[in-house]
Structure 1
């Protein structure tokens, strides 16, 4: 009898603990959105290096900025090809969607630039916008067409706005198509899933990632488009636009973070513990402390 009571009590306590865990906010208790700076024209593309320093673009001003784990904000690079989305590869190179000439760049630690990709099927890319790098070094990148006033051309040379995959050997192939305007994307290495947002159709899709980089089994994840996006270690998906909306892996809204700007463009985890959420929104950079780490 005593044994049965003890087991029942343990079961109840475990259920209570699980319930409390589920109910716990992803935002750290007492944490508030912190404005780091609002001196920019339009912030985009935040990416964290191995130490947790975060780099982001001021796209109209053609600059990349760095916010260190010590809280220092500094100009990292001027003349960036009007970089938009950023991501670090394993070697510490900064891979950038260089919007000025519709290219994908590799920027090494000495700020030397190598053009990785600029054409598809012999035609100019629309303009690489966002990217993610898989465990093998393959690069997924979105290629929407946003007409820029600094371009000499006015029309797209591509038949569609797609997502491409550049494999580690440098070969580029179509990873996904059939979008109105693809934009943000992020891969989940743990679940072998790829999330792509079609901002032009206000939808986000999820795919299975195959070993060869191909994407299969396209499914609707949620009825919300996004600019950039990120994941946490629990595979929750963070979408942006009007603030931040956080979805469970099943596609259910579990939390929202309000941002006092007209548009929230992108988002990533960084900082010393990888538990600081960095938010690029209009002319500003914000941070907020979280209870969860970013996905690796």
Structure 2
């Protein structure tokens, strides 16, 4: 498809939202002649894409309280789990369990391949979490979890039973240590780390910033700095260390120096999250409001 035809195609969808226009690719990150493809629509709000070892993607249709599986090889979707705890962000652990931020009851779940769930976390110091939103798992199995407060109309609990603020948490791989590692965020949301487990990025749309941390001994964080003066919903990272951020403007790509090097417009009201899929991790999978999309990349993802 020519660039001219691509522009016309994206503009035809402009009524869906703000994010339309031409793909920008300053560093040859996207496969030559690749176009954004809509996989499927008719969802309510898609979120939390997590890639399995085989390259399939599991994502949530959050208002409909279900987790959907997209098969890389067949290109089809199917319901993996109903009554999914209103799962939001998700990530696979090294044992093949799907770890899900289940904010129906403010919990963190582990879901095995057969769909059986185990509650890992539901409170901190005797009070319920606000509503876990997203997580990142390091190579050694440690977890970092964002816990903002987005009040849900399906909650019946007393707000006084929740936390005293919106914080970033750490859960050790042995599940024995659950602590706060940053109490100075306004509304932490998207989170991703580098494949070596040494660097963590956390989006704080409340502060309109993305922060960068060094991960040090015992899960603690150091050298916090502002990486970008903008917020994001979900995020992912490629093997070069480029960060992919989301929101009303589709997917934007930034290098290690915080320079914008790419933009993938998505013809929807909101782009919520993104991950790399397929056995080669070269298919960028995008959850965007009522639909999910994909585009082939030259670079590969790391998770």
TM-score, normalised to structure 2, is: 0.88
Partner in structure 2 of residue 247 of structure 1:
254
Aligned to 2:159, what secondary structure does the other structure show? coil
For residues 151-205 of structure 1, the C-alpha deviation after alignment (integer angstroms, 9 at most, x for no partner) is: 0025252111001001012120112221110000001133711000001111000
Aligned 1:137-286 pairs, distance under 5 A? 137-153=141-157, 155=159, 157-170=162-175, 171-190=177-196, 192-241=198-247, 242-286=249-293
| Equivalent pair of 1:207/1:217 in contact (CA under 8 Å) | yes
Aligned to 2:153, what secondary structure does the other structure show? coil
Aligned 1:76-115 pairs, distance under 5 A? 76-115=80-119
In structure 1, stretches of 5+ residues that fail to align are: 1-21
| Equivalent pair of 1:234/1:295 in contact (CA under 8 Å) | no
| Equivalent pair of 2:53/2:279 in contact (CA under 8 Å) | no
| Equivalent pair of 1:44/1:57 in contact (CA under 8 Å) | yes
For residues 51-81 of structure 1, the C-alpha deviation after alignment (integer angstroms, 9 at most, x for no partner) is: 1001100000001011112112111111110
Higher CA-based Rg: 1
In structure 2, stretches of 5+ residues that fail to align are: 1-24
- Give distance in 2, aligned partners of 1:192 and 1:110: 32
TM-score, normalised to structure 1, is: 0.90
Partner in structure 1 of residue 21 of structure 2:
none
How well do the aligned residues superpose, as a CA RMSD in angstroms?
1.3
| Equivalent pair of 2:26/2:262 in contact (CA under 8 Å) | no
- Give distance in 1, aligned partners of 2:55 and 2:132: 25
Aligned length: 275
Shift in Å, 1:224: 1.0
| Equivalent pair of 1:48/1:269 in contact (CA under 8 Å) | yes
Runs of 4+ in 1 over 4 A off after TM superposition: none
- Give distance in 1, aligned partners of 2:44 and 2:27: 36
